[in-house]
């Protein structure tokens, strides 16, 4: 007989040592549930899903219909036509122009009322346009004031080589029309409609993404000394709001709202919220006649655009948007149609397996 040599170990080469353990997990013998999809189980699910989608669609549609909204295209409406023609020529950009638009509200806008401006055919979602900004500058980095990013070109410096703050195409194209809404009461009095011009931005934008540079006992104008305003602006960034010194610089709310680019070419952006602390508008915006005095600055002819103002109430679902309720209703209709077709096919060919052929 032959005996292995002392100290020798068994050779573990070959397929046997690499074989997985004989366990339920590694040998894939775990218990599993394999559902049997039959007409008795599938068809009720289809009908139930159709009913759920239909109920959601109807509920959201009623919710959307409960909002009140009025849109007013003022691009060349009334005497705004004069301003519209004036803005055709870029050389007239420095000339001021104002116009007035009148409208009426047939039913009281109850609750909070939001005032938006809207643009059509303005593409803020172009990649080069969206990249044309310096987030380091708008977050308040001092070194970026005088050294804007190359992404801002050709809106980084003016023709004299002076840096622009805020730089870039997004800031340069900021919407600069302004509005004053007036209510004409039944007694003949003209009552200015108070609008809250703060609290319009996202919290993260106002407190994180946009900050003014450190002043260190200097005025904001002194901090921005050595920079120029964007080419198409009429005011420097440190005096955008003459009525509120805390709403100037990079933390100006109109600037922040504009700098959050829209995803679609037709969009609206928040301009103000009805101040219901005023006794005349405690319950909302009363029905009656109104007028809007517009400082008409923003040209739209060069991109074949249109301008509008939107007054609307909101629900937790948002404004008057019919897409989601219609999507639910269409989906429920398609599911119901599919369920009916499957029911007929099952009733005619597959019930009890009598009419099925091998």
Digits of tens for pLDDT over the chain (358 positions)? 444 545 555 555 556 677 888 888 888 888 888 878 888 888 999 999 999 999 999 999 999 988 999 999 999 998 999 999 998 888 777 788 999 999 999 999 999 999 999 999 999 999 999 999 999 999 999 999 999 999 999 999 999 999 999 999 999 999 999 999 999 988 888 999 999 999 999 999 998 999 999 888 889 999 999 999 998 898 999 999 988 989 999 999 999 999 999 999 999 999 999 999 999 999 999 999 999 999 999 999 989 999 999 999 988 878 888 899 999 999 999 999 999 999 998 888 876 655 545 4
Ordered strands of the 190-192 beta sheet: 98-105, 288-295, 178-184, 190-192
**Residues facing residue 179 across a β-bridge:** 294
Task: Please indicate, yes or no, if residue 217 is contained in any of the structural domains.
Answer: yes
How many angstroms separate the CA atoms of 92 and 109, rounded? 38
Task: Please indicate, yes or no, if residue 114 is contained in any of the structural domains.
Answer: yes
- Given this model, what pLDDT does residue 14 score? 56
For residues 59 and 202, state if they share a domain. Answer: no
Task: Please indicate, yes or no, if residue 354 is contained in any of the structural domains.
Answer: no
Task: Please indicate, yes or no, if residue 104 is contained in any of the structural domains.
Answer: yes
For residues 57 and 152, state if they share a domain. Answer: no
How many angstroms separate the CA atoms of 170 and 155, rounded? 10
Task: Please indicate, yes or no, if residue 303 is contained in any of the structural domains.
Answer: yes
Task: Please indicate, yes or no, if residue 19 is contained in any of the structural domains.
Answer: no
For residues 171 and 221, state if they share a domain. Answer: yes
Task: Please indicate, yes or no, if residue 103 is contained in any of the structural domains.
Answer: yes
For residues 209 and 333, state if they share a domain. Answer: no
Determine whether 68 is exposed, middle or buried from the number of CB atoms within 10 Å of its CB (0-12, 13-18, 19+).
buried
Rounded to two decimals, the pTM is 0.80
**Six token digits for residue 274:** 């009805």
For residues 239 and 93, state if they share a domain. Answer: yes
For residues 56 and 156, state if they share a domain. Answer: no
For residues 124 and 255, state if they share a domain. Answer: yes
For residues 143 and 182, state if they share a domain. Answer: yes
For residues 59 and 189, state if they share a domain. Answer: no
Ordered strands of the 306-313 beta sheet: 69-73, 306-313, 113-120, 267-274, 195-196
- Given this model, what pLDDT does residue 88 score? 87
**Residue ranges making up the domain that contains 79:** 73-314
For residues 126 and 200, state if they share a domain. Answer: yes
For residues 137 and 151, state if they share a domain. Answer: yes
Q: Provide the number of structural domains found in the chain.
A: 2
Task: Please indicate, yes or no, if residue 305 is contained in any of the structural domains.
Answer: yes
How many angstroms separate the CA atoms of 76 and 85, rounded? 8
- Given this model, what pLDDT does residue 358 score? 46
For residues 63 and 77, state if they share a domain. Answer: no
């Amino acid at each position: 007989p032959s005996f292995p040599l002392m100290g020798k170990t068994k050779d573990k080469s070959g397929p046997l040592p690499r074989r997985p353990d004989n366990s339920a997990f590694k040998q894939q013998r775990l218990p599993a549930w394999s559902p049997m999809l039959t007409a008795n189980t599938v068809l009720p699910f289809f009908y139930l899903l159709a009913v759920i989608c239909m109920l959601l669609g109807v509920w959201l549609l009623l919710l959307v219909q409960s909002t009140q909204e009025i849109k007013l295209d003022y691009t060349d409406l009334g005497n705004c036509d004069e301003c519209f023609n004036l803005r055709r020529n870029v050389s007239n950009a420095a000339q001021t122009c104002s116009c007035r638009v009148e409208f009426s509200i047939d039913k009281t806008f109850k609750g909070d009322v939001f005032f938006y401006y809207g643009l059509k055919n303005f593409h803020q979602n172009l990649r080069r346009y969206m990249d044309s900004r310096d987030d380091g500058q708008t977050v308040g980095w001092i070194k970026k004031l005088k050294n804007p990013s190359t992404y801002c070109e050709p809106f980084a410096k003016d023709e004299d080589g002076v840096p622009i703050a805020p730089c870039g195409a997004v800031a340069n194209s900021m919407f600069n029309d302004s509005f004053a809404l007036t209510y004409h009461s039944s007694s003949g009095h003209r009552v200015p409609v108070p609008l809250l011009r703060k609290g319009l931005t996202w919290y993260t934008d106002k407190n994180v993404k946009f900050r003014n540079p450190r002043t260190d006992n200097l005025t904001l104008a002194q901090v921005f000394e050595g920079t120029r305003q964007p080419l198409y602006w009429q005011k420097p960034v440190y005096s955008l709001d003459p009525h509120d010194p805390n709403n100037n610089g990079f933390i100006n709310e109109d600037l922040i709202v504009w700098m959050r680019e829209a995803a679609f070419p037709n969009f609206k952006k928040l301009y103000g919220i009805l101040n219901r602390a005023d006794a005349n508008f405690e319950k909302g915006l009363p029905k009656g006649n109104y007028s809007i005095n517009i400082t008409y600055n923003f040209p739209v002819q060069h991109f074949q655009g249109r301008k509008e103002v939107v007054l609307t109430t909101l629900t937790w679902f948002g404004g008057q948007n019919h897409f989601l309720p219609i999507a639910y209703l269409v989906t429920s209709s398609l599911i119901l149609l599919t369920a009916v077709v499957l029911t007929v096919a099952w009733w005619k060919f597959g019930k009890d397996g009598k009419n099925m052929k091998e």
